[in-house]
Amino acid sequence: MTWFTNRKSDRPAGDRLAELWERPGILRMPGAHNALAGLLAREAGFEALYLSGGALSASLGLPDLGVITMEELVVFTRSITRATGLPLLVDGDTGYGEALNVMRLMVELEAAGAAGVQLEDQILPKKCGHLSDKLLAEPEAMAAKIRAAADARTHLRIIARTDAVASEGLEAAISRAKLYVAAGADVIFPEALIDADQMRAFTAEVDAPLLFNMTEFGRTPYLTDREIEALGYKMVIWPVSSLRVEAAAVKKLYGHLAEHGGQEAILDDMQSRRELYQTIGYHDYEALDSSIAQSILPNTPNR
């Protein structure tokens, strides 16, 4: 199957995403920081994906401080959605500005195939939600962005993230969440919750589907998808996991090459040529052009 010929569903991506979280159970959305990661997630059976601003920033060699551009975000969004065909929730950070910038972001992401956008209530320079000293927008200023986003979209679902728990307290964060729902948010994403009491407080008091961030090395304790579902959440993301695993594996490769001058001893750690071609549909693309003979792979056992 190729995205050259695979006709995507006539149903808008946002509608398909909402249908997934409205089903019984929890919707699992692993982070996919590029199209190949998205294809591997689809192979594993996942039905929707998440594009993290932090993971995208790191993949570009930049910190997660709101310094990537809207254009960079759109390019990666398009590459992932066209390759996988899966509903993609995109981290829109602070919306790249105020109301007009948010409205443009909605239009650009819809054109790129996104299913949803996450907007957060920090101001620039923004930080990872699990770090200290985050600067927050005034609640009504964030609500104004959400209203602008709702006015500009046709199908894109709006996920409103609040980072207020750490600096303003639980009740203030819940108050913000309710304001954001009233402004047009479809889903609430309470960031950096530290215990089950905080997690349950949101499900008890906020009348909207909730998204749970199960990131690594942060403030939130490690929970499984079933444990998160039992707390009342409808969606879970693992936003940067794919990038962290990739970076660790590539670091190991480069260290081995520097020390040993060759890669033969670590071939078993690699995706084989055959596996890579299966993932990206290499022969399917060849078959689209009758002038291309199907390639025969080198005669290497199991590789």
Does residue 269 fall inside a structural domain?
A: no
Q: What is the pLDDT of residues 59-117, one digit of tens each?
A: 999 999 999 999 999 999 999 999 999 999 999 999 999 999 999 999 999 999 999 99
Residues spanned by the domain of 41: 13-240
Is residue 300 very low, low, confident or very high in pLDDT (cuts 50, 70, 90)?
A: confident
Q: Could you tell me the CA-to-CA distances from 4 to 41, 78, 121, 244, 289 in Å, in that order?
A: 20, 13, 38, 30, 12
Report the alpha-carbon distance of residue 195 to residue 131 in Å, rounded: 17
For the chain, the average pLDDT equals 95
Does residue 233 fall inside a structural domain?
A: yes
Q: What is the pLDDT of residues 124-167, one digit of tens each?
A: 889 888 888 899 999 999 999 999 999 999 999 999 999 999 99
Q: What is the pLDDT of residues 208-229, one digit of tens each?
A: 999 999 999 999 999 999 999 9
Does residue 294 fall inside a structural domain?
A: no
Does residue 246 fall inside a structural domain?
A: no
User: Is the bond preceding 125 in cis, omega lying within 30 degrees of 0?
Assistant: yes
Does residue 270 fall inside a structural domain?
A: no
Report the alpha-carbon distance of residue 266 to residue 255 in Å, rounded: 11
Is residue 248 very low, low, confident or very high in pLDDT (cuts 50, 70, 90)?
A: very high
Q: What is the pLDDT at residue 196? A: 95
Tell whether the model's pLDDT for residue 6 goes beyond 90.
Answer: no
Does residue 65 fall inside a structural domain?
A: yes
CATH number for 173: 3.20.20.60
Does residue 272 fall inside a structural domain?
A: no
Signed CA dihedral, 113, 63, 133, 32: sign only = positive
Does residue 110 fall inside a structural domain?
A: yes
Report the alpha-carbon distance of residue 225 to residue 248 in Å, rounded: 24
How many structural domains does the chain have? 1
Helix, coil or strand: residue 278? helix
